[in-house]
Amino acid sequence: MPIEIRQARVTDLDAVARLFDDYRRFYHAASNLALATAFIGERLRGQDSVILMARDGDGVALGFTQLFPSFSSVGCTRIFVLNDLYVAESCRGRGVGRALLAAARSRAQEVGAARLVLETAVDNRAAQVLYESFGFEREAGFLAYALSVA
């Protein structure tokens, strides 16, 4: 199956939003296609993230990854936070996730980013295996914290 990866455009909103809604459901959020469409639409129109989309030879959306630009204060360099990576359930095991990771790495290199960083759920073993086989290294010296402010 040939996989085409390209940066999503506003014209891809419906396809990316459906995948994004599935991604959110994977992480136990309630399905809300209107919310997913609004969120992804804001990202695409505002160009404040990079959304890379995978399609097959027939143009069917297979998956996406979303990168948020950030910076490393200690390294004084640009980085990307790979915030989302999702492959449609029916397309898993076909190399789509790996192709999206390769495209994300290429994009980061194109803009001079020093690295890609990501987090995944402790129980998402399939993702961990993919990331580690791709060369991501598990952080050992840091803990992740979150503070709700809403």
What whole-number distance in Å separates Cα of residue 53 and Cα of residue 126? 20
pLDDT class of 1 with cuts at 50, 70, 90: low
Question: Is 84 within 8 Å of 48 (Cβ atoms)?
Answer: no
How many Å apart are CA 101 and CA 96, to the nearest integer? 9
Question: pLDDT digit string (tens) for 75-97?
Answer: 999 999 999 999 999 999 999 99
Phi, psi of 60 (to 5 degrees): -75, 130
Question: What pLDDT, in 10s, does the model give residues 53-74?
Answer: 999 999 999 999 999 999 999 9
Per-residue confidence (pLDDT) for residue 147, from 0 to 100: 87
Tens digits of residue pLDDT in 112-144:
999 999 999 999 999 999 999 999 999 988 888
Q: How confident is the model at residue 45 (pLDDT cuts 50, 70, 90)?
A: very high
Structural domains of the chain, with CATH? 3-134 (3.40.630.30)
Q: What is the mean pLDDT of the chain?
A: 95
What is d(CA 37, CA 18) in angstroms, rounded to the nearest whole number? 8
| pTM value > 0.85 | yes
